[in-house]
Amino acid sequence: MSGTVSHSGKTKGLLIDVTLCIGCGACQEACVKEHNLPGGDDDQLSYRNYTVIQKHGDQFVRKLCMHCETPSCVSACPVGALNKRESGAVVWDHTKCFGCRYCMISCPFEIPTFEWYSYNPRIRKCVLCYERIEAGRPTACAEACPTEATLFGDRDTLIEVATQRIRSRAEKYQDHVWGLYEVGGTSVLYLSSVPFESLSFKKDLMQSPPSEITWRILGQVPNVVLIGAWVLGGFYFLYRRRHEVKAAEAHTTEKGGHGDAK
Amino acid sequence: MQNNHEFKVNLKGLFTPWPIIAAIILTVAFAIAIFRYVFGIGSVTNLNDIAPWGLWIGFDILTGVGLAAGGFIMTTTVYIFGREKFRPIVRMSILTAFLGYLVFIWGLLIELGRPWVIWHAIIYWNIHSPLFEVAWCVMLYTTVLFLEFSQVIFEKFGLKKLQHIFHLVSVPLVIAGALLSTLHQSTLGTLFAIAPGKVYPLWYSPIIPVIFFISCVAGGLAMVILEGHLSKRFFRHEIPFNLIKPISRALVYSLGIFALVRFADIAGRGAVPLMFANAMETPYFWIETVLLIIAPLIILNIKKIQYSELGLFYASLSAVLGFVMHRINMVTTAFARVNGGYFPSWQEFWITASLVTLGFVIIALIVRFLPVLPEGSLIKTRKERERYLAAKKKEDFGYKKLGWNA
């Protein structure tokens, strides 16, 4: 099969070699067809396209969901409508989503899009053709790519291929497999001959999953509840105690007063 | 004859411009909402794929919930810390908090893409999501607020037995309310902790839940003072000065702590140069800082005006506006570099205004029919009104001359 390297039951991914992309748009077309999208000649992701090609100088860069190893959106979704499947695909579940759009806020790459003009809107994003890849076939985009700029396979194998390419053509490639460590690793990897910043890739991305930050904070919830309950309970106890002492004192002075009068 | 008088007074009340203005705002908002349910959120807002959250999240939710913090602050003060003198204003603060949350949930029904499955938060769990925690805390806390408010209904209809039960559970209820509030007020900030690369460093912080919590205490206290002022204007119910004074002091302390934490946090992350950077975010940061921190702290620390009616009014108003600014900045300015210059549409402003209006209308109605305010603070008959006006004419009213402990 074209555009595929060996694959087994392991996490799948894509290797996108920017140096090989000729910007023909075959991937975008195949994607539109595969997922019955409205399509359109657009260079921004929207409900129309799960993937687009953006031109930076003389370089063409595909934009699509990175299918993070530890996705922010999956941790952010309050109803668990986004899931990372065993195959590596990050997939949205229409039966759960209530449309809060926190996935869009949380995504480090602004990937999920929304049907803004629908009465029953869906979150739209690349699903790594999970039905295809779980049946042992490559993604539609990898299959359609004429230059193998998009390569489908096991993530491990793709990393090997990428490092091999860098090693054999050191003068051509940047010494950086993008996606190896970014935000804790992504299933979609990139190779480039020019610095990634010049292709509008974000610099200063965390090398660990951002969801670790929120999880660390949420881990304090039991402490807040336990300590808070004890502190508030303690204050209430003090207040009652003061109240009782005062009442008792008032009682004794009253008695004492009577005694004096006698 | 007597009835006739009352009829006249009521009729006069009907023709103030407020009900008409409210009716117009709510009617147009209703039309916008219908349009939104048919043609989608994008048809009435400037939200889009790179600006998925805007004014509705910033004001209706982050601000609305934050300013309703007065509810848990006042109940805790009275029931747990035993500051009995604040009891006369507890009911009003519970009511405003309860309505704040109801209006906020109502706003969610417009803001969410698929509001008809909002209940999914109950059956589909994701404990890793801060928004999941917020959803649960808000659900539970709204229930707590309803139960806390139910004593007013029990009293109105003389349900002695239920009143007794309420008395028994009131303390655990208040503690639960305080804990739930602490959790979701801070977690509203945690929502943004997941996007370190996207949120501008003047607003992003690893301790953002702490910043949200302290600011909600300040905002909630400022709101109690402001509510007192408004309630005096609209219901002729005055919060005695011996209550306002300690609340304004608490506001000073909470604002002081907030300022310390906020600036220490900015300095600790090395973001001080950004405070003075030539960037589009800078003016918004300073508007927020002046309104929320600097102006109230100055007003409330000048001996001559700190306890004057106008001083308290402007200080609390400024703090509330600054709070609004902080929360709206959080979803707009802080994301300005990725959201493509989002600015709310007039429909977004209108829906927001309608939610505020709805809150006012419901409060005005409830205060009329249920014993929320202390006995005798509502003017119901013509005689009372005349007496009030005469007193006002003699300048017996107003914070300065009232002989504060009356």
Q: How far is residue A186's CA from residue A152's CA, in Å, rounded to a whole number?
A: 14
Query: What's the pLDDT tens digit per position in A21-48?
Result: 999 999 999 999 999 999 988 889 999 9
Q: Classify B278 as helix, strand or coil.
A: coil
CB proximity B109 to A under 8 Å: no
Within-domain flag for A19: yes
Do residues A94 and A200 both lie within one domain?
A: yes
Residue of A183, A200, A214 to mutate, testing the B interface (most B Cβ within 10 Å of its Cβ): A214
A98/B196 touch (CB, cutoff 8 Å), yes or no: no
CB proximity B345 to A under 8 Å: no
Is A89 a residue whose pLDDT tops 90? yes
Distance (Å) from the alpha carbon of B22 to chain A's nearest alpha carbon: 28
Distance (Å) from the alpha carbon of B311 to chain A's nearest alpha carbon: 33
Closest chain A residue to B83, measured at CA: A239
Within-domain flag for A126: yes
Q: Tell me, what's the pLDDT at B367?
A: 79
Query: What's the pLDDT tens digit per position in A122-159?
Result: 999 999 999 999 999 999 999 999 999 999 999 999 99
Q: Tell me, what's the pLDDT at B204?
A: 94
User: Residue A7 — very low, low, confident or very high, per pLDDT cuts 50/70/90?
Assistant: low
Query: Considering chain A, what is the average pLDDT of its residues?
Result: 91
A-chain residues near B48 (CB < 8 A) = 116
How many domains does chain B contain in total? Answer: 1
Within-domain flag for B3: no
Do residues A142 and A123 both lie within one domain?
A: yes
In which element (H, E) is residue B170 found? helix B160-190
- Largest separation between any pair of C-alpha atoms in chain A: 112
CATH number at residue B240: 1.20.1630.10
Within-domain flag for B103: yes
How many domains does chain A contain in total? Answer: 2
Q: How far is residue B153's CA from residue B139's CA, in Å, rounded to a whole number?
A: 21
A233/B175 touch (CB, cutoff 8 Å), yes or no: yes
Query: What's the pLDDT tens digit per position in A172-210?
Result: 999 999 999 999 999 999 999 999 999 999 988 999 999
First to last CA, chain B: 34
CB proximity A104 to B under 8 Å: yes
User: Residue A113 region, left (φ>0) first, then alpha (ψ -120 to 50), else beta?
Assistant: beta
Q: Tell me, what's the pLDDT at B7?
A: 38
Within-domain flag for B388: no
For residue A234, give its domain range: 220-261
Chain pair A-B, CB pairs under 8 angstroms: 172
Q: Tell me, what's the pLDDT at B158?
A: 84
Q: How far is residue B35's CA from residue B347's CA, in Å, rounded to a whole number?
A: 10
| Residue A97 burial (10 A CB sphere; 0-12, 13-18, 19+) | buried
A239/B187 touch (CB, cutoff 8 Å), yes or no: no
How much of chain A exceeds pLDDT 70, in percent? Answer: 93
Q: Tell me, what's the pLDDT at B379?
A: 60
Q: What is the mean pLDDT of residues A237-261?
A: 77
Torsion of CA B383, B385, B386, B391, to 10 degrees: 130
Do residues A148 and A253 both lie within one domain?
A: no
User: Residue A222 — very low, low, confident or very high, per pLDDT cuts 50/70/90?
Assistant: very high
Distance (Å) from the alpha carbon of B341 to chain A's nearest alpha carbon: 15
Q: Which of residues 235-254 of A touch B (CB under 8 A)?
A: 235-236, 239-240, 242-243
Within-domain flag for B17: no
Q: pLDDT 10s per residue in chain B (406 long)? A: 344 344 334 444 445 687 889 999 999 999 999 999 999 999 999 999 999 999 999 998 999 999 999 999 999 999 999 998 898 889 888 988 998 898 888 899 999 999 999 999 999 999 999 999 999 999 999 999 999 999 888 988 888 888 888 888 999 999 999 999 999 999 999 999 999 989 999 999 999 999 999 999 999 999 999 988 887 776 666 677 788 889 999 999 999 999 999 999 999 999 999 999 999 999 999 999 999 999 999 999 988 888 888 889 999 999 999 999 999 999 999 999 998 889 999 999 999 999 999 988 888 888 778 877 776 556 656 666 667 666 666 554 444 433 333 3
Q: Tell me, what's the pLDDT at B391?
A: 65
Global ipTM: 0.89
CATH number at residue A43: 3.30.70.20
B-chain residues near A104 (CB < 8 A) = 49, 52-53
B-chain residues near A214 (CB < 8 A) = 128, 130, 190, 193-194
Buried/exposed code over B306-334 (b: 16+ C-beta within 10 A; e: otherwise)? bbbbebbbbbbbbbbbbbbbbbbbbbbbb
Within-domain flag for B42: yes
Which residue in A164, A152, A216 sits closest to A188, CA to CA? A152
B121/A110 touch (CB, cutoff 8 Å), yes or no: no
Q: Tell me, what's the pLDDT at A224?
A: 93
B187/A113 touch (CB, cutoff 8 Å), yes or no: no
Do residues A107 and A226 both lie within one domain?
A: no
Query: Considering chain B, what is the average pLDDT of its residues?
Result: 87
Do residues A228 and A135 both lie within one domain?
A: no
For residue B88, give its domain range: 23-373
A115/B40 touch (CB, cutoff 8 Å), yes or no: yes
- CA-based torsion, B189, B195, B200, B206: positive or negative: positive
A104/B43 touch (CB, cutoff 8 Å), yes or no: no
Q: Tell me, what's the pLDDT at B347?
A: 96
B-chain residues near A98 (CB < 8 A) = 112-115, 117-118, 120-121
Q: What is the mean pLDDT of residues A232-236?
A: 95
Do residues A230 and A159 both lie within one domain?
A: no
